[in-house]
Chains A and B, each alone.
Chain A
């Protein structure tokens, strides 16, 4: 079971690009990297998922180096509404609970 390490908290300002890095040194060949966002009093919401290189959607980009031992979630031009907890998960949903360890996540605070 690949474990992840993220910063506990980060601060930034509106309009800035924010990069949150997740370390997963024990990632396995079949593992994918998935990021979720959670607002207070709500369940987590899927943001982005990737296996290698770069993935981009309308919300964020995910950068994964060749060795896949880390990944970086990039949020372009953040706003106050991006203040939330961000979780990095690593695993392969092969019918078990692998990849379902959320950890404490990164609490991102965006200031005006």
Chain B
């Protein structure tokens, strides 16, 4: 079982460049999320999706865009990268089945550096 797969694992960008981070899950989960984690900090929610074709803003959405064209994929885009976006990005997914907070399954992260 692959679970949640993030691509790429590492990337270095120059200020102003654009890129897309890909998240893929094979668990047929409805919900998907993008977080960023900075040194010594917890995870902060950037954007999330409650189903194919839907997206919503999280705590820190500025400077990012997302798309959920297919249920299994959730893309995070940086249109014009800034040094403040240097971080580790985590993708997660969860099911809507059952009750309460369904546990999120996380990928191993994408380490992004903006020079």
Contact with B along A41-58 (1 / 0, CB 8 A): 111111001010000000
Would you call A101 and B59 a contact (CB within 8 A)?
Answer: yes
**Chain A residues near B35 (CB-CB < 8 A):** 102
Instruction: With CB as the reference atom, state the residue of chain A lying closest to B48.
Output: A97
- Give A103 to B59 CA distance when docked, in angstroms: 12
**Chain B residues near A51 (CB-CB < 8 A):** 100
A56: min CB distance to chain B, Å: 16
User: When the two chains form the complex, which single residue of B4, B58, B103 contacts A100, counting CB atoms closer than 8 Å?
Assistant: B58
Q: Is B25 an interface residue (CB 8 A)?
A: no
Chain A contact-residue range equals 20 to 34
- Give A36 to B4 CA distance when docked, in angstroms: 16
Would you call B42 and A87 a contact (CB within 8 A)?
Answer: yes
Would you call B108 and A89 a contact (CB within 8 A)?
Answer: no
User: When the two chains form the complex, which single residue of A32, A93, A105 contacts B31, counting CB atoms closer than 8 Å?
Assistant: A93
Q: Is A34 an interface residue (CB 8 A)?
A: yes
- Give A69 to B46 CA distance when docked, in angstroms: 28
Tell me which of A46, A87, A91 has the highest count of chain B C-beta atoms within 10 A of its own C-beta: A46
Determine the main DSSP class of A at the interface with B: loop
Q: Which residues between 39 and 78 of chain A lie within 8 Å of chain B, taking CB atoms?
A: 41-46, 49, 51
Q: Is B106 an interface residue (CB 8 A)?
A: yes
Q: Is A95 an interface residue (CB 8 A)?
A: yes
Would you call A44 and B104 a contact (CB within 8 A)?
Answer: yes
- Give A87 to B41 CA distance when docked, in angstroms: 11
Would you call A42 and B94 a contact (CB within 8 A)?
Answer: no
Would you call B102 and A43 a contact (CB within 8 A)?
Answer: no
Q: Is B101 an interface residue (CB 8 A)?
A: yes
Contact with B along A93-109 (1 / 0, CB 8 A): 10111011111110000
Closest 3 CB pairs between A and B?
A: A43-B106, A32-B100, A46-B103
A-B contact list, 8 entries, CB within 8 Å: A34-B103, A43-B90, A43-B92, A43-B108, A45-B106, A87-B42, A97-B58, A102-B44
